[in-house]
């Protein structure tokens, strides 16, 4: 018997990663492609061999066998679509960022908890081999007490990217460089450092202000456990489509990694044990062709497998909804510090 019957709601850029992730799992049927533009839903269903398509979310949610939905629409609608699905009794996997308003995310988490339904927010780079390895080295104390962390990300987007109905708009995207492209490296920073608080932030539309209402460049200073000092910087100006560097320094060792495709360990210093772990990791890193845009990576597969396992037997999901909530709470605090929130 098929234990998971799934629908993808929003058949745009990221939807192929969901079609791939659900499509490769046994005992999972990807049954519906839903997009408010019916021609998009129909074409997506045909391309990925999905048996049913619709422009009407209510028709999809009325399917009594449907267990779950992906919410991969624009940021501003994440909360409303997730809420409709949860109220229809469906488990929900929502794309990042969870929502544009923290209060909406809290309400959706509460609804899922009351309903006993699985809710997860995509953070595929938490599943990158280099990220999980560094997280375990930190847990084992191999880096000692963390003192410093830094992230630099460049993710150039051309003007055409901001010409659709939602990118670059205050309402539709809820911010730009940080909450959209920077979300990934920022969430990994949170994963590696633990609880962070915002000290200060600055942002501006330095090059793309003619096509966006939000920031194209942002930097923040944060504090973490034991006084750790973290700096975070993202820009969607420049010429580089995707480049990340995440550095973590502790009293006993330091690493520099990326979450590009594939994620790499660029630098490691510390004890003989840490260097041996680094060597093992480097020998194990493999290049798997990603199913969608290259820098989206392959992590959706692992998170989707965890999501389906959670539906079937309650296995915990590493990229939980509460983690997704904590990340947007901190992003909201950065925007407030930068003067981008009313």
Ligand X SMILES: NC(=O)c1ccc[n+]([C@@H]2O[C@H](COP(=O)([O-])OP(=O)(O)OC[C@H]3O[C@@H](n4cnc5c(N)ncnc54)[C@H](O)[C@@H]3O)[C@@H](O)[C@H]2O)c1
Residues near ligand X, by CB under 6 A:
9-14, 34-37, 40, 57, 72-75, 77, 81, 95-96, 122, 124, 164, 180, 296
Which residue, 6 or 96, has its beta carbon nearer to ligand X? Answer: 96
Which residue, 222 or 298, has its beta carbon nearer to ligand X? Answer: 298
Residue of 79, 55, 120, 126 whose CA lies nearest to 311: 120
- In whole angstroms, what is the distance from residue 232 CA to residue 255 CA? 16
Closest distance of CB 115 from ligand X, Å:
21
Closest distance of CB 318 from ligand X, Å:
15
CA atoms within 13 A on the CB side of 254: 11
Which residue, 76 or 228, has its beta carbon nearer to ligand X? Answer: 76
SS3 313: helix
Which residue, 37 or 288, has its beta carbon nearer to ligand X? Answer: 37
* Residues belonging to the chain: 342
Closest distance of CB 254 from ligand X, Å:
27
Which residue, 167 or 277, has its beta carbon nearer to ligand X? Answer: 167
- In whole angstroms, what is the distance from residue 248 CA to residue 319 CA? 21
Instruction: Kindly list the distances between the CA atom of residue 245 and the CA atoms of 135, 157, 192, 335, in Å, as whole numbers in the listed order.
Output: 16, 18, 13, 22
Which residue, 237 or 295, has its beta carbon nearer to ligand X? Answer: 295
- In whole angstroms, what is the distance from residue 341 CA to residue 201 CA? 12
Residue of 167, 172, 175 whose CA lies nearest to 201: 175
Closest distance of CB 252 from ligand X, Å:
33
Which residue, 77 or 203, has its beta carbon nearer to ligand X? Answer: 77
Closest distance of CB 123 from ligand X, Å:
8
Closest distance of CB 196 from ligand X, Å:
21
Taking CB positions, which residue lies at the least distance from ligand X?
A: 12
Closest distance of CB 275 from ligand X, Å:
32
Beta strands in the chain (DSSP E): 4-9, 28-34, 52-54, 68-71, 91-94, 119-121, 146-154, 197-204, 217-223, 229-235, 243-250, 253-257, 265-270
SS3 200: strand
Find the distance separating the first CA and the last CA of the chain, reported in whole Å. Answer: 51
């Amino acid at each position: 018997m098929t234990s998971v019957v799934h629908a993808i709601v929003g058949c745009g850029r990221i939807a192929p990663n969901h079609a791939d992730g659900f499509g490769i799992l046994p005992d999972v049927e990807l049954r519906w492609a839903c997009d408010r533009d019916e021609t998009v839903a129909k074409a997506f269903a045909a391309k990925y061999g999905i048996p049913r398509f619709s422009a009407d979310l209510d028709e999809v949610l009325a399917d009594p066998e449907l267990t779950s939905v992906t919410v991969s629409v624009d940021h501003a609608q994440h909360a409303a679509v997730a809420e409709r699905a949860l109220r229809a009794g469906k488990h929900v996997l929502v794309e990042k960022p969870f929502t544009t308003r923290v209060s909406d995310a809290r309400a959706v988490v509460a609804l899922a908890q009351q309903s006993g339904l699985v809710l997860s927010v995509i953070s595929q780079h938490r599943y990158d081999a280099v990220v999980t390895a560094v997280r375990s080295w930190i847990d084992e104390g191999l880096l000692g007490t963390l003192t410093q962390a830094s992230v630099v990300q460049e993710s150039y987007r051309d003007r055409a990217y901001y010409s659709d109905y939602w990118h670059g708009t205050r309402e539709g995207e809820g911010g730009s460089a940080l909450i959209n492209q920077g979300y990934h490296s920022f969430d990994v920073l949170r994963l590696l450092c633990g609880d962070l608080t915002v000290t200060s932030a600055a942002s501006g539309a330095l090059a793309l202000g003619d096509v966006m209402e939000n920031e194209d460049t942002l930097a923040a200073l944060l504090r973490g456990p034991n006084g750790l000092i973290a700096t975070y910087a993202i820009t969607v100006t420049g010429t580089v489509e995707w480049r990340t560097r995440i550095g973590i320094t502790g009293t006993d060792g330091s690493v520099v990694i990326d979450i590009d495709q594939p994620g790499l360990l660029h630098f490691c210093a510390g004890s003989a044990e840490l260097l041996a772990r680094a060597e093992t990791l480097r020998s194990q890193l493999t290049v798997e062709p990603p199913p969608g845009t290259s820098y989206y990576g392959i992590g959706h597969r692992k998170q989707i497998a965890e999501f389906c396992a959670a539906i079937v037997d309650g296995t915990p999901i590493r990229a939980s909804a509460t983690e997704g909530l904590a990340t947007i709470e901190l992003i909201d605090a950065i925007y407030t510090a930068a003067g981008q929130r009313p």
